[in-house]
């Protein structure tokens, strides 16, 4: 979270921004104060709702010619952790599935849970849309 994002979220939630609160929000893994938790919760909700990466951002890893795993072979479920491959950086991105498509041709929706590349366009908490043939690996549930 940037300083500007922190200040805007504190203002929206009507908290007085202090250096201590900013330090807790921006640099603590598990904040203890209710104000810091509220700011982070709103930040994640906004990112999950408005920052959406489309399927074109991820590499297709399975084709109809693939003999090891044909499209449709995975039994994806909500809360399952999967791994996608960024089309631009060729790096792995961990995603938790939040919603399955309503039709076989629809896209799975998920939330990025881990990003190992600094300054990437993909950030933890961002929403993503992807298809089953873009799943590189299942990481568990």
In which element (H, E) is residue 46 found? helix 34-50
Tens-place pLDDT, residues 89-122: 888 899 999 999 988 788 999 999 988 777 788 8
Are 74 and 138 in contact by the 8 Å Cβ rule? The answer is yes
Q: Which residues have C-beta within 8 Å of that of residue 123, sequence separation ≥ 6?
A: 47, 51, 112, 115
What is the chain's Cα-based Rg?
17
**CB atoms closer than 10 angstroms to residue 109:** 18
Q: Looking at the domain 53-140, which fold is it?
A: SH3 type barrels. (2.30.30)
Residues forming beta bridges with residue 59, ordered by sequence position: none
For residue 65, the model assigns a pLDDT of 64
| H helix runs in the chain, sequence order | 3-12, 19-27, 34-50
How confident is the model at residue 67, as a pLDDT?
63
Neighbour tally for 56: CB within 10 Å: 8
Which regions in the chain score pLDDT beneath 70?
63-67, 69-71, 141
Domain ranges for the chain: 3-50, 53-140
Q: What are phi and psi of 45, to 5 degrees?
A: -65, -45
Q: Report DSSP state, residue 28.
A: -
């Amino acid at each position: 979270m940037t300083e500007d994002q922190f200040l805007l979220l504190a203002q929206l939630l009507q908290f007085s921004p202090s250096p201590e609160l900013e330090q807790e929000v921006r640099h603590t893994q598990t904040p203890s104060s209710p104000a810091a938790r509220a700011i982070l919760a709103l930040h994640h909700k906004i990112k999950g709702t408005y920052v959406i990466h489309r399927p074109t951002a991820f590499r297709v890893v399975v084709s109809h010619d693939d003999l090891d795993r044909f499209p449709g072979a995975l039994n994806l479920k909500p809360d399952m952790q999967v791994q996608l491959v960024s089309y631009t950086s060729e790096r792995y991105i961990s995603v938790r599935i939040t919603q399955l498509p309503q039709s076989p041709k629809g896209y799975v929706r998920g939330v990025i849970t881990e990003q190992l590349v600094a300054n990437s366009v993909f950030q933890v908490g961002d929403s993503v849309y992807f298809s089953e043939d873009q799943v590189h690996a299942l990481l568990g549930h």
